[in-house]
């Protein structure tokens, strides 16, 4: 087991898993989803999804990983029947596909960091909407930045679990929090900040539709890195004397807090600029924020570059966990050399991401790739819808069913006792089991069916 590596202690695991959870999902995606789904009401549903549905699934994933010390496919094969292996395989595939597009968006953040910090972007008085459109469709720039990002990711993963993943997350995460808090303080001093806060914090439940629930659920899975076995993989490096119950709670709280803070940072900034709409969609941070940085005068480029650097940090600790999943799969199943596997898999995923990169205007074919839900969708949206919005809740559903119902000899319960013997027989234990058996799968299943029905019968 020693040769497989592991986290140095419980804090190492918490840092790495929180690093995985906190990423573009929190800072880029969460605010625009809040913006598109009516503000605070979405926030309330999101919090419920995270604590009631996702937290139990996080425990299930971590327990499965630690018990088997394997990647998702190997893990399910070991303690479940062969058919369960398919759930693991779906997870590994989702990891590959999610990283393929995630790395492209991370490349945008990297590009903005370079352009604002060193390319004089803010001083040109540009229209940032047009700039963003031009930027994402410029294939040369995109190639460069996303190669850069994938190389960084691969270097960290090749460094191993403790010296690579754990060490870097412990450095990058605190820096991220400091930067966010700094930007919140600045944003709150601006005109319009209070309107931004009330949009974000005062719920208007009239905006809620069935789709809001699904969006919140899918976002909670994505943000907490659940449903594809990332935490099975990280769990496989956790020691037997570490309590995973407290760890999972801390990871969830850390992730939610940072998403919440990202909203506190962005909405005052957005509302201070009358020309920018809160529902600007995926371009929100790339379009809304540069305009604000520009108004800051001579410190603008510094603040702006810091923000996008922060976004890169957050993304990096997530891409690292996404890459670790297929890497652990290949090294466990085929007994390959870890370093070579890392470089091979990273290169492969980079190529898988090319159509996504081309789908933002560079290629007509990939930009108007398929038609569903009443409009043409680009390749990126398709991959995101299938491998993140659909596959993660579905994977989570099966993981909960497995841990709650199918894992033999009370495997799940017993795994929780390691590092937490006092749990046995407590109310907390009963609660956890009840949630994993009934609440998580039932609610995910219900939301899933309602949304699918809505798509077809709308
Ligand atoms: N949780 C990451 C984010 O919010 O940006 C994305 C992610 C990482 C999803 C790892 C899934 C995963 F396995």
- Token duo for residue 237: 């490096």
- Nearest-atom number in ligand 1 for the CA of 228 is 13
State the average pLDDT over residues 342-355: 98
Instruction: Look at residue 335 and tell me whether its pLDDT is greater than 50.
Output: yes
**Is 16:321 a contact under the CB 8 Å cutoff?**
yes
Residue 118 CA to residue 113 CA, distance in Å, equals: 8
Ligand 1 contact via 176 beta carbon (within 6 Å):
no
pLDDT (tens digit, 9 = 90+) per residue, 206-228? 878 888 999 999 999 999 999 99
Q: What was the pLDDT predicted at 3? A: 59
Query: In 9-126, which residue ranges form alpha helices assigned H by DSSP?
Result: 10-21, 24, 30-36, 40-48, 55-68, 72-79, 82-117
CA 54 to mean position of chain CA atoms: 13
Ligand 1 contact via 318 beta carbon (within 6 Å):
yes
Ligand 1: centre distance to CA 273 (Å): 30
pLDDT (tens digit, 9 = 90+) per residue, 131-186? 999 999 999 999 999 999 999 999 999 988 878 788 888 888 888 888 889 889 98
Judging by beta carbons within 10 Å of its beta carbon (0-12, 13-18, 19+), is residue 410 exposed, middle or buried?
exposed
State the average pLDDT over residues 7-21: 90
pLDDT (tens digit, 9 = 90+) per residue, 246-265? 999 999 999 999 999 999 99
Give the pLDDT band (50/70/90) at residue 1: very low
pLDDT (tens digit, 9 = 90+) per residue, 375-406? 899 999 999 999 999 999 999 999 999 999 99
Substitution site in 19, 21, 216, 233 for ligand 1 pocket (most atoms within 8 Å of beta carbon): 21
Ligand 1 contact via 321 beta carbon (within 6 Å):
yes
Q: Which one is predicted more confidently, 298 or 123?
A: 298
Ligand 1: centre distance to CA 191 (Å): 34
How many domains is the chain partitioned into structurally? 1
Ligand 1 contact via 25 beta carbon (within 6 Å):
yes
* Paired strand residues for 375: 372
Q: What was the pLDDT predicted at 174? A: 84
Residue 81 CA to residue 88 CA, distance in Å, equals: 12
Residue 370 CA to residue 383 CA, distance in Å, equals: 11
Q: What contacts 92, CB < 8 A, 6 or more positions away?
A: 71, 72, 73, 228, 229, 325, 326, 329
Ligand 1: centre distance to CA 367 (Å): 24
State the average pLDDT over residues 296-300: 87
Q: What was the pLDDT predicted at 126? A: 84
Ligand 1 contact via 20 beta carbon (within 6 Å):
yes
Substitution site in 321, 324, 328 for ligand 1 pocket (most atoms within 8 Å of beta carbon): 321
Residue corresponding to tokens 């870097």: 168
Where are the extended beta strands (E) located within 113-156? none
Residue 93 CA to residue 326 CA, distance in Å, equals: 8
- Token duo for residue 120: 């004089």
- Nearest-atom number in ligand 1 for the CA of 314 is 5
Ligand 1: centre distance to CA 422 (Å): 32
Instruction: Look at residue 81 and tell me whether its pLDDT is greater than 70.
Output: yes
- Token duo for residue 258: 């940072």
DSSP annotation of 274 reads T
* ipTM of the prediction greater than 0.95, yes or no: yes
Give the pLDDT band (50/70/90) at residue 124: low
State which H helix or E strand residue 339 sits in. helix 338-352
Residue nearest to atom 10 of ligand 1 (CA): 225
Q: What was the pLDDT predicted at 455? A: 64
Ligand 1 contact via 26 beta carbon (within 6 Å):
yes
Ligand 1 contact via 220 beta carbon (within 6 Å):
no
Q: What is the mean pLDDT of the chain?
A: 92
Q: What was the pLDDT predicted at 344? A: 98
Residue range(s) defining the domain that contains residue 80: 2-457
| 128-137 and 139-158 helices, crossing angle to 10° | 70
Ligand 1 contact via 219 beta carbon (within 6 Å):
no
pTM of the model: 0.95
Ligand 1: centre distance to CA 17 (Å): 10
Q: What was the pLDDT predicted at 2? A: 36
Q: Which CATH number characterizes residue 23's domain?
A: 1.10.4160
């Amino acid at each position: 087991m020693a040769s497989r590596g592991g986290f140095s202690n419980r804090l190492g695991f918490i840092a790495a898993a929180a690093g995985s959870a906190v990423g573009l999902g929190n800072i880029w995606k969460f605010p625009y989803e809040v913006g598109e789904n009516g503000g605070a009401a979405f926030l309330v549903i999101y919090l419920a999804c995270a604590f009631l549905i996702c937290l139990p699934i996080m425990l299930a994933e971590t327990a499965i990983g630690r018990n088997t010390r394997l990647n998702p496919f190997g893990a399910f094969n070991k303690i479940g029947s062969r058919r369960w292996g398919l759930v693991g395989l779906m997870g590994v595939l989702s990891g590959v596909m999610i990283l393929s597009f995630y790395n492209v968006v991370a490349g945008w953040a990297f590009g903005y960091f370079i352009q604002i910090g060193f390319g004089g972007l803010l001083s040109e008085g540009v229209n940032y909407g047009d700039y963003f459109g031009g930027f994402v469709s410029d294939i040369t720039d995109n190639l460069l930045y996303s190669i850069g990002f994938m190389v960084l990711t691969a270097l960290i993963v090749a460094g191993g679990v403790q010296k690579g993943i754990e060490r870097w997350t412990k450095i990058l995460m605190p820096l991220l929090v400091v930067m966010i808090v700094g930007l919140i303080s600045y944003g709150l001093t601006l005109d319009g900040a209070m309107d931004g806060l009330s949009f974000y914090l005062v719920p208007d439940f009239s905006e809620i539709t069935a789709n809001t629930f699904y969006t919140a659920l899918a976002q909670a899975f994505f943000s907490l890195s659940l449903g594809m076995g990332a935490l099975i993989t990280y769990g496989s490096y956790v020691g037997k004397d570490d309590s995973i119950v407290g760890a999972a709670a801390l990871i969830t709280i850390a992730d939610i807090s940072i998403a919440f803070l990202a909203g506190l940072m962005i909405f005052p900034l957005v509302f201070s600029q009358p020309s920018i709409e809160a529902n600007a969609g995926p371009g929100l941070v790339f379009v809304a924020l540069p305009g604000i940085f520009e108004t800051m005068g001579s410190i603008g480029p510094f603040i702006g570059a810091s923000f996008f650097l922060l976004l890169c940090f957050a993304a990096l600790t997530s891409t690292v966990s996404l890459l670790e999943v297929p890497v652990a799969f290949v090294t466990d199943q085929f007994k390959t050399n870890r370093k070579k596997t890392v470089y091979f898999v990273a290169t492969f995923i980079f190529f898988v991401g090319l159509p996504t990169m081309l789908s933002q205007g560079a290629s007509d074919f990939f930009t108007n790739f398929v038609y569903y839900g009443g409009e043409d969708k680009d390749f990126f949206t398709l991959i995101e819808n299938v491998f993140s919005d659909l596959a993660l809740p579905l994977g989570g559903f099966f993981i909960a069913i497995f841990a709650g119902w199918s894992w033999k000899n009370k495997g799940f319960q017993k795994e929780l006792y390691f590092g937490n013997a006092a749990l046995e027989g407590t109310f907390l234990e009963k609660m956890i089991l009840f949630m994993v058996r009934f609440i998580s799968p039932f609610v995910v299943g219900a939301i899933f069916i309602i949304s699918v029905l809505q798509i077809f019968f709308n």
